[in-house]
């Protein structure tokens, strides 16, 4: 097992999103025409902008005092619409404040959308198929579909899938070949293995803890190794080497207690050959050189028929 030097992937390709400032456990963001203040535990430093600018944001999320770091409530300084349209590259989608401090998308994930898109555009042969687990509001699914893939999108929340289908219409991709599946991710993957299904790419963004639609329990530290192993089996195999999976895999983890090295070494036990990247994801500040770390990641891919793809 080879230790890989960590990389920092910077989501610096946005027009409709800006990280304006961060510090004192929070972040100030410009999201389309509106400004928000949300918790950010990794922002240990002092903010650069004055407190008055933070206090005048359109909406501020105040976390609760319990152990759930996503619980809390919004305080609105002015009336906002229920939702509004944003755009990343050529994909339009809807943003909205949710009860769990999120804004219906994760801007740092654009580094993975570019990676998947570039791989799929370099694909040769039959139409590629991508599995998006814990797919949330579907932006990765839309990017892959627009790049020419058939997509299976899996999420345990019917509400999240409803938002994802709204995004499909907003993006003008109503006819794109996307299957929307409300299911527990691990349960679904095991079922696909029994069916003999195979995919050319797998994307997963698992939570630290979650429940499936039938009460299944997901615990990252307990279930991630099993899921990664199953995902490796779900990838297509090289016709000349049935033991060698081909395609790409992207995994993002927000669990602060888990290091990028732990994630990478766990994945490397299951995936052989190919090219690895691992490290942290980050957002750039507007007008500042400092970065805001957001998550750890691991990416693995094989070249497609001998053709290399851009490392983005």
Q: What is the pLDDT of residue 180?
A: 98
Which CATH number is associated with domain 106-301? 3.40.50.150
The confidence score (pLDDT) of residue 62 equals 92
Question: Given this structure, which CATH class describes domain 14-88?
Answer: mainly beta
Taking Cα atoms as reference points, which of 204, 209, 312, 217 lies closest to residue 266?
204
Q: Out of 182-186, 196-200, 205-209, 268-272, which region has the weakest mean confidence (pLDDT)?
A: 268-272
- Rg value, the chain, Cα: 19
Q: Give me the pLDDT at residue 306, please.
A: 41
Per domain, the residue ranges of the chain are 14-88, 106-301
pLDDT at 305: 45
Q: How many helices (H) and strands (E) does the chain have?
A: 7, 19
pLDDT given for residue 161 in this prediction: 97
β-pair partners for 35 = 30
How many CB atoms are located within 10 Å of the residue 107 CB? 23
* pLDDT > 60? residue 41: yes
Among residues 133, 117, 34, the alpha carbon closest in space to that of 80 is found at 34
Whether the CB-CB separation of 243 and 222 falls below 8 Å is answered with no
User: pTM for the full model?
Assistant: 0.91
Give the tens place of pLDDT for each residue, 204-241.
999 888 788 877 888 888 889 999 999 999 998 755 55
């Amino acid at each position: 097992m080879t230790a890989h030097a960590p990389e920092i992937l910077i989501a610096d390709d946005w027009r409709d999103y800006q990280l304006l400032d961060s510090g004192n456990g929070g972040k100030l963001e410009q999201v389309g025409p509106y400004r928000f203040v949300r918790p950010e535990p990794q922002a240990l430093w002092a903010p650069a902008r004055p407190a008055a600018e933070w206090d005048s944001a359109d909406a501020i999320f105040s976390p609760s005092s319990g152990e759930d770091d996503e619980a809390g409530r919004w305080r609105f300084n002015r009336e906002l619409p229920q939702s509004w349209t944003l755009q990343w590259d050529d994909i339009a989608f809807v943003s909205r404040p949710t009860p769990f401090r999120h804004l219906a998308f994760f801007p740092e994930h654009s580094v993975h959308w570019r990676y998947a898109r570039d791989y799929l555009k370099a694909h040769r042969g039959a139409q590629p198929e991508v599995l998006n687990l814990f797919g949330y509001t579907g932006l990765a699914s839309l990017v892959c579909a627009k790049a020419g893939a058939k997509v299976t999108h899996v999420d345990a929340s019917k509400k999240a899938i409803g938002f994802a289908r709204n995004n499909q219409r907003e993006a003008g991709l109503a006819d794109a070949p996307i299957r929307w599946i409300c299911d527990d991710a691990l349960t679904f993957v095991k079922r696909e293995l029994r069916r003999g299904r195979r995919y050319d790419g797998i994307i997963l963004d698992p939570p630290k803890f979650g429940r499936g639609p039938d009460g299944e329990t997901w615990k990252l530290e307990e279930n991630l190794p099993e899921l990664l192993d199953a995902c490796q089996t779900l990838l297509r195999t090289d016709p000349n080497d049935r033991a060698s999976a081909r395609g790409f895999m992207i995994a993002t983890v927000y669990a602060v207690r888990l290091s990028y090295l732990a994630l990478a070494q766990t994945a490397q036990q299951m995936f052989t050959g190919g090219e690895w990247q691992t490290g942290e994801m980050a957002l750039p500040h507007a007008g500042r050189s400092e970065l805001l770390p957001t998550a750890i990641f691991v990416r693995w891919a094989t070249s497609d028929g001998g053709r290399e793809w851009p490392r983005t």
